[in-house]
Structure 1
Amino acid sequence: MSEVPPVMLSAITCDRVIFDRISGMPSIINIVQVVNSVNFPLRHSELVFFCELTNGHGQTEIEIVLVDLEEDDKILFNQKKTVEFRDVRHILTLALKMQGVVFPEPGEYRFQIYANGTMLGERRIVCRKVEKPPQKDADGGVSF
């Protein structure tokens, strides 16, 4: 494995990534920067961490970690995968689909990406507690 870390070009959290069948190019659907919820802990049904890396050299171990910044960087999720960079100009696209990620409380969380143990960068996601909106009655009035 190479000691020269790749360069992170982008890091995005979103609901979905669709890859075109012909070109292979990705389309990012519904970028997620803030998650609002009435209740915590919050189980997010599906979330995708998307990133692009370049300037990689040969086999590289990639690790994606979700940490809770307000709990001393407690790890909520992590996954490792070994990838192969064909040459330094190669752009590697990763789309990690996560189901059932639990955010224990409102606050700031970070997706961190590592290559061979070296942090390349991170992407913030904020969870906010919101009040439940008033419900409309059958006659159109608002009840609290």
Structure 2
Amino acid sequence: MAGRAPELEGSRRDRTRARLCYAAGVSNYVTPQCTSLILCDAVIEDVRSRNKSLINMFNGVLTPQVPFRHDKMCAFASFTGGRGKVPIALRLCHDQSYETDLVRLPGEIEFPRDMPHGVVDMVFEIRGFVFPEYGAYTFELVCDGVPLLSRRFNVSAPAEPVDPA
């Protein structure tokens, strides 16, 4: 097909192959697409409607000194297009040493068989993490070592106040 990017054809082919392997029983799951990764203070779920409220979303923190201890934060993620029980992990790394995990939280999501295009949400809670230094960090969702989606996070010092005189 002329005019199509090869990456799109390849990824569509890979997704089709993964679904066929799942249907044939070769694989226990199909890797989902991650549609969101949001950092916040808390996630509240309504018991009846199962709707979620994300409280105090943020992309970084201002702190006068490091190391800095963040008492609690949540990472909210949404997935679609998966099949079966899928292993998902949230990793946090400092961008200067990207390969080294500062935090790695394993988890698993299960897609309902009767809703192949359903959306499944997942919440990771991180308590008492200490950011060792200022700079850029990355939160990343992975499935069997394959990155699905990442989110940048900055730890910075507040700006010095300007003397009005």
Give the TM bin, normalised by the shorter chain: 0.7 to 0.9
* TM value normalised by structure 1: 0.85
**What's the offset of the Cα at 1:32?**
1.2
**What's the offset of the Cα at 1:118?**
1.8
Question: Is 1:31–2:80 an aligned residue pair?
Answer: no
**Of Structure 1 and Structure 2, which has the larger fraction of its residues in helix?**
2
- Alignment partner, residue 130 of structure 2: 102
CA gap 1:40/1:54 in 2 versus in 1, 3 angstroms: same
Equivalents in 1 of 2:57, 2:50: separation in Å?
A: 20
* TM value normalised by structure 2: 0.75
Equivalents in 2 of 1:70, 1:30: separation in Å?
A: 27
Q: Which runs of 5+ in 1 are unaligned?
A: 134-144
**What's the offset of the Cα at 1:72?**
3.7
Q: Which amino acid aligns with 1:43?
A: R
Q: Aligned residue pairs: how many? A: 135
CA gap 1:13/1:130 in 2 versus in 1, 3 angstroms: same
Question: Is 1:111–2:139 an aligned residue pair?
Answer: yes
Question: Is 1:12–2:2 an aligned residue pair?
Answer: no
Equivalents in 1 of 2:85, 2:37: separation in Å?
A: 21
What is the alpha-carbon root mean square deviation over aligned residues?
2.0
Q: Which amino acid aligns with 2:126?
A: M
Runs of at least 4 residues of structure 1 off by over 3 A?
A: 1-4
**Of Structure 1 and Structure 2, which has the larger fraction of its residues in strand?**
1
- Alignment partner, residue 141 of structure 1: none
Q: Which amino acid aligns with 2:149?
A: G
Contact 1:60–1:116 under 8 Å retained in 2: no
Q: Which runs of 5+ in 2 are unaligned?
A: 1-26
**What's the offset of the Cα at 1:95?**
1.0
Q: Which structure would you say has the larger RCO, counting Cα contacts within 8 Å and 6 or more residues apart? A: 1
Moved more, 42-51 or 90-99: 90-99
